[in-house]
A = this chain, B = another copy of it.
Amino acid sequence: MLHVKTPEEVLALIEREFAAVADAELVSLSAAMGRVLAEDIAATEYVPDFDRSTVDGYAVRARDTFGCTDAIPAILPLQGEVFMGEGAEFTLNPEECVAVPTGGAVPKGADSVVMVEYTEDYGDGTIGISKSAAPGQNMIFRGDDVYPGKVILRKGRVLSSQDIGALAAIGKVQVPVRKKLTVGVISTGDELVPPEVVPGPGQVRDVNSPMLEAILGAFGVKVINYGIVIDNEALLSEKVRKAVSECDAVLLSGGSSVGVKDAACRIIESMGELLLHGIAIKPGKPTILGKAGCKPLVGLPGHPVAAYFITKLFVLPLLSVLSGRKQETYTTTAKVTESIGANHGRAQYQCCRLERRDGELYAYPIRGKSGLITTLAGADGYFCIDRDCEGLPKNAEIQVTVCSGG
Contacts and interface: CB of A to CB of B under 8 A. Distances in A.
A69 interface: no
A12 to B, nearest CB: 16
A231 B373 contact: no
Interface in A206-252: 206-215, 217-218, 231
Contact of A146 (B211, B333, B373): B373
Contacts of A402: 330
Nearest to A374: B145
Contact of A327 (B154, B370, B405): B405
A256 interface: yes
Nearest to A82: B202
A373 B169 contact: yes
Nearest to A355: B328
Given A104-B191, A332-B331, A166 B374 contact: yes
Given A166-B377, A332-B331, A161 B215 contact: yes
Contact of A166 (B162, B217, B231, B376): B376
A203 to B, nearest CB: 5
A371 interface: yes
Chain B CB within 10 Å, residue with most, of A29, A47, A377, A402: A377
A158 interface: yes
A29 B201 CA distance: 24
A84 interface: yes
B162 A308 contact: yes
A101 interface: yes
A289 to B, nearest CB: 21
Nearest to A372: B145
Contacts of A403: 160-162
Contact of A144 (B140, B169, B214, B371): B371
The complex is assembled from copies of this chain, and their number is: 2
A369 B145 CA distance: 8
Contacts of A369: 140, 144
Contacts of A376: 162-163, 165-166
Interface string A177-197: 000000000000111100111
Given A162-B377, A328-B354, 17 more contacts: A33-B218, A47-B373, A56-B257, A56-B258, A87-B202, A103-B302, A144-B370, A152-B378, A158-B405, A160-B214, A163-B376, A165-B207, A166-B377, A168-B195, A168-B209, A170-B205, A173-B195
21 contacts: A49-B199, A82-B202, A85-B189, A85-B192, A103-B204, A104-B202, A105-B201, A152-B377, A153-B377, A161-B214, A162-B373, A164-B210, A165-B376, A166-B207, A166-B373, A166-B377, A168-B195, A168-B211, A171-B198, A328-B354, A328-B380
